[in-house]
Amino acid sequence: MLIAPGKQYRGLIALVAFVAMAASSVAIGSTVSADKPKAPKTKMDTLTITCAGSTQASISLQICAGATGAPAGFSLQWTTAAQLAAGPDGTPGTFDDNTWPSSDSSDLCHASFSGNANLSRYELGCNGCVVVNVGDFLFDQGTSTNCCDGLICGTTYVFRAFAHATSTLMRSDFTGNRTCSTLACGHDSGCTYTQGYWKTHGPIPTGNNTNQWPVTPLTIGTVSYTDLQLQAIFDKPAAGNGLVSLAHQLIAAKLNIANGADGTAVASAIAAADALIGGLVIPPVGVGSLSAASTSALTSILASYNEGAIGPGHCE
């Protein structure tokens, strides 16, 4: 069927107009899409902190991540409840974030637990948890702190933490304040103390503590050390050296036994640790070294004994 020339012309006009409008819409859409700002990064989920036990010189905390996890680890801050209540200038304050000491204050302790370090146990997955022992850190892979000493007995501390940022998520908000206390002061026999306790109650005691060591020299491996050398070993962060972390727990276990604690539960672990160390001289007295992988199992057993999980139990 033939179409009249006038109708053909009008149809052609309409088609051209439709194509022009479609092209214009595409161009406008492209411009809007190009100019549309990117959505801001989402924060990591806020962590939770739970008090998980204490000794006279340390407090165990369970740190748990939310649905985002905390793959890059987290940071922890703490101070005494008395200091926090006084406020940063010594004026009356309340338990809220505005009264925390400044980051460079000597009243603020802080520690970083990196999830990016090799063999780190602080790479937390979705709703993952880890326990850290403030005042008695193992100083394993990824740990650093400005407060290496044990805590004060009979004292309430306040803690807060945040999850580290990743390449896709910003750091989390701080947790709310969590208060936990060390055990009341007192010295018992027949039970065990952590390496943090012995470290702060040695020949160079911390704060108002006194020297409670029951012996002066100790043999670690096949090498005999004076009390001052043992104190220096306690004061040396492991920094990835398995020999140092093992020595911390082995020295503490031997001091506990010398102090009257039953060592049956760790007798074989102590013998194995001494055999593994042999003639290596422990830093900073010497330059001996062992991989963390080769010592971690023995270190864990000895730590469980010193912390009261096995053996006669921890001194209350």
SS3 state at 80: strand
Q: In the numeric block, which tokens belong to residue 123?
A: 């790479």
pLDDT, residue 95, reads 47
DSSP 8-state symbol, 186: -
Residue at token pair 């050296």: 241
List the chain domain ranges. 42-181, 195-306
Q: Residue 266 — pLDDT band, cuts 50, 70, 90?
A: very high
| Whole-prediction pTM | 0.54
Q: Which pLDDT score is estimated for 252?
A: 95
pLDDT at 231 over 50: yes
How far CA 260 is from CA of 52, 189, 270, in Å, comes to 27, 6, 16
pLDDT at 18: 53
Q: What is the pLDDT of residue 153?
A: 80
Distance CA 35, CA 260 (A): 74
Q: Are 238 and 138 in contact (CB under 8 A)?
A: yes
Instruction: Give me the pLDDT at residue 136, please.
Output: 75
Could you tell me what percent of the chain has a pLDDT over 90? 48
Confidence of residue 97 (pLDDT cuts 50, 70, 90): very low
Express each pLDDT in 126-167 by its tens digit: 999 988 888 877 666 778 888 887 788 889 999 999 999 999
CATH code that applies to domain 42-181: 2.60.40.10
Tokens for 248?
């911390």
**Following DSSP, what letter does each residue of 189-251 receive, concatenated?**
SSSB--HHHHHHTSSS--TT-----S-S-EEETTEEE-HHHHHHHHTS--TT-HHHHHHHHHH
pLDDT value for 37: 63
Q: What is the pLDDT of residue 32?
A: 47
- Split at pLDDT 50, 70, 90, the class of 260 is confident
267-277 and 242-258 helices cross at what angle (nearest 10)? Answer: 140
DSSP state of 98: G
pLDDT digits (tens, 9 = 90+) for 20-75: 555 554 444 444 445 556 666 689 999 999 988 777 778 888 899 999 999 999 99
